[in-house]
Amino acid sequence: MSYPIISKREHASPAPPNLRDYDLVHSKFSWDQAREKLAGMGEGKLNIAFEALDRHRGTEIENHVALRFLPKDENAASPQDISYRQLLADSNRFANVLASLGVTRGDRVYCLSGRIPGLYIAALGALKHGCLFTPLFSAFGPEPIRSRMDIGQPSVLVTTSRLYRKKLADWAHELPYLDHVILLDDDPAETPDRRAVKLSALMSSASPDYSTQAMAPEEPALLHFTSGTTGKPKGAIHVHQAVLAHYVTAEFALDLQPRDIYWCTADPGWVTGTSYGIIAPLTHGVTMIVDEADFDAERWYRTLQDQHVSVWYTAPTAIRMLMKYGKEMADRFDLSGLRFLASVGEPLNPEAVKWGMETLGLPFHDNWWQTETGGIMIANFSSMDIKPGSMGKPLPGIEAAIAHRTAEGIEFLQNSDETGELVLKTGWPSMFRGYLNEDERYHKCFIGDWYLTGDLARCDEDGYFWFVGRADDVIKSSGHLIGPFEVESVFMEHPAVAEAGVIGIPDEVSGEAVKAFVALKPGIEATEGLQKELLGLARKRLGPAVAPKTLEFRVALPKTRSGKIMRRLLKARELGLPEGDTSTLEESGK
Ligand code: AMP
């Protein structure tokens, strides 16, 4: 079914958009000129946190609410407002706390926490102090947390007593590189770690003044983990000048304007929740909503209504869940404060764009990017016609193309609508500068001046990009990127398991559901009990966001002659699709 174009007049926002003439701005844009949009710290130095907070000192924005925190249990606690002035003072205190513990510029600070103000203060304070900051998703189980800790070897972990007890207590005391565990809460129970300190005591004696470290544009600021098809998770390094891209892309693709109330529903444990859930909104001086609770349709509508959210950045899985509750539920709320809706993370069904128009009076503006790009690369803008199902057009400052990898290098596809790999011309400020300790893996992502995204896409005759699929086996479930290898490794540790293969299968709500296939060792019976045990093990070790929901036993899994599980074939067979090239298949897997 093809969906009619939504003309720019049909979805025009009441206020003139920041990007009024896409073609003009895209043709004239230069990152060097755009640098003037930042405050900077003199002599070419800058700091992400300075742009987010210090730059507003002495302006009217100082008194605005920077962060409105909505606690999970609304009956137990009321919303908490933190002004720009207060957030600056608190993150300065946090930077001073780090200094008092002997933490220095360049040290790595990890944070494992739900969406509470302490997480935001720690992120900004660590950046101010020149540390490399890594947020970890709090729904991860111990396994993904530990592997990411071992790769980045942080000297500081910021967390809560509850998360420490639940996910770290069994093993964190063994980590030789970890010097400090900073607890964000005041839980009276002892945390079984001699390095643990309570933040509140340290904060109360710390000064609210701190001279933010002036960083070179290329100094590392953030380390975000992402997954590949094989091997360990990859730590993508982002530098301080990424803030320029965060600022500019939020101006153009999210249309952020000074008085906006902005809600990014992504968790800071994933790149969207940091780039657009902390940095970009603060650089624009808007009020950001931080909801501690997980998805709940009524609560979300109530939040949009009661908080007068004007710009809402969310994800397809959430939109599909809202769609299931129907227009009737949406109609019970006054959502007239909304003026711009955006979506990212997975393919946005054209039906969802249409549903936005019908139910909220606005379309969702799909945009595309990934951990490695650090910021939005392709988007539907307020000032252009929307073709539902398309990711839109490249941002000003971004050149995108469709190409094939060849023996000689790269071949660009000239004809519109041909499917190939989505590639981006290097040089934008938020591009990752390496995978931590994995130079080879990093260099493999580039051919000449082009970054290869690993996504398959096509570009139509009007210059709109359309997502086709992933070129590799990674799984996108509820917007979370999951590396099959990480999941398979947990099954492989079970004494009954001989082989494991994990794939994503289409799911109406989460986009893809994680499904495992397991072959047992000779003589071991495939029972329902064992199936439950394996699923339980995965849930405990990986956490609910990563663990498979279903598992099937097979006598053997399809493998290449060199012994690699052919996930592509597992998937084709599961979905009844053509098997494609099976010339490398080892016979026993058939
Ligand atoms: P992550 O690095 O976790 O942000 O995941 C990035 C991947 O998510 C991309 O490479 C795409 O495969 C997928 N993705 C992100 N945004 C979109 C979108 N708008 N449409 C389709 N896929 C998307």
Alpha carbon of 161 to ligand 1 centroid (Å): 33
pLDDT in tens, 429-461: 999 999 999 999 999 999 999 999 999 999 999
431 and 481 assigned to the same domain: no
Structure tokens, 353: 């764009």
Of 394, 429, 459, the last residue of a domain is 459
C-alpha 204 – ligand 1 centre gap (Å) = 42
Task: Looking at the structure, tell me whether residues 165 and 49 fall in a common domain.
Answer: yes
Question: In angstroms, rounded to a whole number, what is the distance separating the alpha carbons of residues 590 and 585?
Answer: 8
Tell which atom from ligand 1 comes closest to the C-alpha of 371. Answer: 2
What per-residue confidence (pLDDT) applies to 1? Answer: 57
Is residue 216 assigned to a domain?
yes
| CATH number, residue 545 | 3.30.300.30
Strands 450-459 and 108-112: unpaired
Q: Is the CB of 225 under 6 A from ligand 1?
A: no
Q: What is the CATH number of the domain that holds 120?
A: 3.40.50.12780
Residues 38-65 pLDDT 10s: 999 999 999 999 999 999 999 999 999 9
Q: Of 229, 314, 367, 369, which is best to mutate to test ligand 1, by the most ligand atoms within 8 angstroms of its C-beta?
A: 369
- Nearest ligand 1 atom to the CA of 481 is 3
289 lies in some domain: yes
For the CA of 480, the closest atom of ligand 1 is: 3
Question: Does a structural domain hold residue 227?
Answer: yes
How many degrees, rounded to 5, is the angle at CA 134 between CA 300 and CA 138?
Answer: 45
Q: How many domains does the chain have?
A: 2
- Domain extent at residue 100: 22-459
pLDDT digits (tens, 9 = 90+) for 292-305: 999 999 999 999 99
* Ligand 1 center from residue 474 Cα (angstroms): 11
- DSSP-based three-state secondary structure for 512: strand
- 60 and 135 assigned to the same domain: yes
Same domain, 370 and 409: yes
- What is the pTM assigned to this prediction? 0.93
Q: Are residues 314 and 272 in the same domain?
A: yes
Looking at ligand 1, which atom is closest to the CA of residue 474? 12
Query: Which stretch of 147-151, 215-219, 281-285, 471-475 has the lowest confidence by average pLDDT?
Result: 471-475
Residues 352 and 482 in one domain: no
pLDDT of residue 71: 98
pLDDT of the residue at 299? 97
**Same domain? 364 vs 331:** yes
- pLDDT at 589 (0 to 100): 45
- From 459, 533, 451, select the one nearest 491 (Cα to Cα): 533
Burial of 419 (0-12, 13-18, 19+ CB in 10 A): middle
Residue 572 located in a structural domain: yes
42 φ, ψ to 5°? Answer: 85, 150
pLDDT band, very low/low/confident/very high, at 590 (cuts 50, 70, 90): very low
| Secondary structure string (H, E, C) spanning 140-170 | CCHHHHHHHHHHHCCCEEEECHHHHHHHHCC
> What's the pLDDT at 579?
81
391 in contact with ligand 1, CB cutoff 6 A: yes
Q: Tell me, yes or no, whether 469 lies in a domain.
A: no
Domain finish residue from 413, 432, 459: 459
Q: Is residue 441 part of a domain?
A: yes
Alpha carbons 114 and 120: distance in angstroms, whole number: 10
pLDDT at residue number 583: 72
Distance in Å, CA 587 to ligand 1 centroid: 35
d(CA 378, CA 465): 8
Question: Mean pLDDT for the chain?
Answer: 95
Residue 562, pLDDT score: 72
Do 156 and 109 form a contact (C-beta atoms < 8 A)? yes
Strand 156-159 with 108-112, pairing: parallel
Within-domain flag for 9: no
For 167, other C-beta atoms within 10 Å of its C-beta total 23
C-alpha of residue 119 to centroid of ligand 1, in Å? 25
Report the relative pairing of strands 156-159 and 132-136 from DSSP bridges.
unpaired
Tell me whether residue 96 is exposed, middle or buried, using C-beta atoms within 10 angstroms of its C-beta: 0 to 12, 13 to 18, 19 or more. Answer: buried
pLDDT of residue 587: 53
Give 459: exposed, middle or buried? Use CB within 10 Å, 0-12, 13-18, 19+: buried
Could you give the CA distance from residue 480 to residue 66 in angstroms, rounded to a whole number?
Answer: 27
Q: Does the CB atom of residue 467 touch ligand 1 within 6 A?
A: yes
d(CA 503, CA 546): 12
Q: Using DSSP, state whether 38 is helix, strand or coil.
A: coil
What is the C-alpha to C-alpha distance for residues 294 and 299, in angstroms, rounded to an integer?
9
User: Is there a single domain that holds both residue 54 and residue 199?
Assistant: yes
Q: Is 290 in the pocket of ligand 1 (CB under 6 A)?
A: no
Q: How far is the CA of 32 from the centre of ligand 1 (A)?
A: 27
Question: Do 501 and 431 reside in the same domain of the chain?
Answer: no
Which candidate, 526, 249, 493, places its Cα nearest to that of 373? 249
Pocket test for ligand 1, best of 368, 423, 466, 478 (most atoms within 8 A of CB): 368
Last residue of a domain, one of 459, 487, 515: 459
Span 321-343, average pLDDT:
96
Task: State how far the Cα of 319 lies from the Cα of 297, in Å rounded to an integer.
Answer: 10
Which residues touch 540 (CB under 8 Å, ≥6 apart)? Answer: 141
- Whether 3 is in a domain gets the answer no
Nearest protein Cα to ligand 1, atom 8: 345
Indicate if ligand 1 lies below 6 Å from the C-beta of 370.
Answer: yes
Q: What is the CA radius of gyration of the chain?
A: 24
232 in the same domain as 277: yes
CA distance 528 to 438: 41
Both 270 and 349 in a single domain?
yes
Beta-carbon count within 10 A of 298 CB: 11
What was the pLDDT predicted at 464? 98
- Nearest alpha-carbon partner for 261 in 235, 288, 301, 242: 288
Probe ligand 1: pick from 346, 365, 381, 475, max atoms within 8 Å of CB? 346
Q: Measured from the CB, is residue 271 less than 6 Å from ligand 1?
A: yes
φ/ψ of 166, rounded to 5, equals -75, -40
User: Which residue's alpha carbon is nearest to atom 4 within ligand 1?
Assistant: 370
Residues 435 and 309 in one domain: yes
Q: Which tens digit of pLDDT belongs to each residue from 105-131?
A: 999 999 999 999 999 999 999 999 999
> Can you read off the two tokens belonging to residue 299?
């609560």
Closest CA to 401 of 467, 328, 459, 483: 459
Instruction: Name the H helices within 262-367.
Output: 271-274, 280-283, 297-306, 316-331, 350-360
